[in-house]
Amino acid sequence: MTKAALMRAFHEPLSVEEVTLPHAGPGEVKVRLLASGICHSDLSVQSGVLLSSAQRDGLATKFPMVLGHEGAGVITEVGAGVTSLREGDHVITLPIGQCGDCVYCSKSQPFLCDSGQSIMRHAAMPDGSTRFATESGESVWQMSGIGTLAEELIVTPTSLVKIAPGVNMASASLVGCAILTGSGSALNTADIKQGDTVVVVGCGPVGQSIIQGARIAGAERIIAVDLLPSKLALATKVGATDEVLAGPDRDVVDEVRKLTNGHGVDVAFEAIGLQVTTDQAIKMTAKGGQIIIVGMAPRDVMVSMPSLSGVLRGAKTIRGSYFGWSDAQKDVARLLEYYKEGVFHIDEIISSVVKIDQVNDGFSSLKEGKETCVVVDLS
Ligand SMILES: [Zn+2]
Ligand SMILES: [Zn+2]
């Protein structure tokens, strides 16, 4: 039996239950998970905000579902035909698998992988079925085809990246989603030049990783914007040069413009996914600047910029940084090298570690903004 955190309805606390798993089938592996991050996307799936009403109805037929999509663990079983991974390998999970074969993987855009996105949408294995079941035999779906808020899972190797042993598992668990997305937004999606000024709006785990990616890319000034002083303090610790505290009575656009002699920044990252912060990021950008959209926004949030003063005369560019434009196999190795050298900080981003029985406390404290980053210890 495996303990797992199940979503049984939108907006309801997760239900921690014992589930069963079969042996790994052909083309599959079984992973003993040791840690899983709780990502804001888990909160968004729980509340249904990322979905259209039709999708919400569709997903509602996929209850119960094990949430969680950023995890780290050790392979305990390898199914027939799997040659890329072995029992005992340390791995991290990817929310969007990268198959290596589809049209996007073939043109060096594996972050848009057709197969990975299909698996993610269906919350199932590639064949559309699921491996978890309750004790009574009810099928249990797997968020992103994974479901890392569980002690064990069965997954396809395209949703995993092998890592060297010795990496702290709590830190490793964040790499597959928050860290890849944030660092990739700065190192892959944005075109940051030596000496550039950037702003990062939203300093959760993704924002903290953008800040570090921007520092590595050569940005000279990195302005962190957040509602919480604790997140700004952490931002400064990992590389931000200026802090701007946001709030209902504060004009953050004006403050960022003042910090940049009225010009605005070269690159503005939006890492929250709200209308107000998206509009602010656009207004904070200088002529010729880039706006990088990283935050997963509800469906009604629009990105709009004046055609004449923004796009044409302003020569501004907007890019959507889906999954940090990551080539996971390559980028994870690069990141963990930076981590090992002490250039990229992950341990410092984790503000709280809980056991799976306290998973709902973790969700609540993230939702209320009390914590920057919560990891579930599954060891
Ligand atoms: Zn995530
Ligand atoms: Zn692919």
Whole-number Å distance, alpha carbon 149 to ligand 1 midpoint, is: 12
- Ligand closest in space to the Cα of 36: 1
Whole-number Å distance, alpha carbon 114 to ligand 2 midpoint, is: 5
Q: What is the pLDDT of residue 54?
A: 65
Whole-number Å distance, alpha carbon 210 to ligand 1 midpoint, is: 15
- Ligand closest in space to the Cα of 209: 1
Q: What is the pLDDT of residue 186?
A: 98
Q: What is the pLDDT of residue 34?
A: 98
Whole-number Å distance, alpha carbon 25 to ligand 1 midpoint, is: 26
CA 73 to chain centre: 18
Whole-number Å distance, alpha carbon 158 to ligand 2 midpoint, is: 9
3-class secondary structure per residue, 225-254: EECCHHHHHHHHHHCCCEEEECCCCCCHHH
Q: What is the pLDDT of residue 60?
A: 66
Q: What is the pLDDT of residue 52?
A: 62
Whole-number Å distance, alpha carbon 39 to ligand 1 midpoint, is: 5
Whole-number Å distance, alpha carbon 106 to ligand 2 midpoint, is: 7
Whole-number Å distance, alpha carbon 287 to ligand 1 midpoint, is: 32
Q: Tell me which residues of the chain have a pLDDT lower than 70.
A: 50-56, 59-60
- Ligand closest in space to the Cα of 111: 2
Residues recorded for the chain:
379
Domains annotated on the chain, with CATH? 2-178+325-377 (3.90.180.10), 191-320 (3.40.50.720)
Q: Which residues does residue 163 pair with via DSSP β-bridges, in sequence order? A: 90
- 188 dihedral zone (left: phi>0; alpha: psi -120 to 50; beta): alpha
Q: What is the pLDDT of residue 62?
A: 85
Q: What is the pLDDT of residue 294?
A: 98
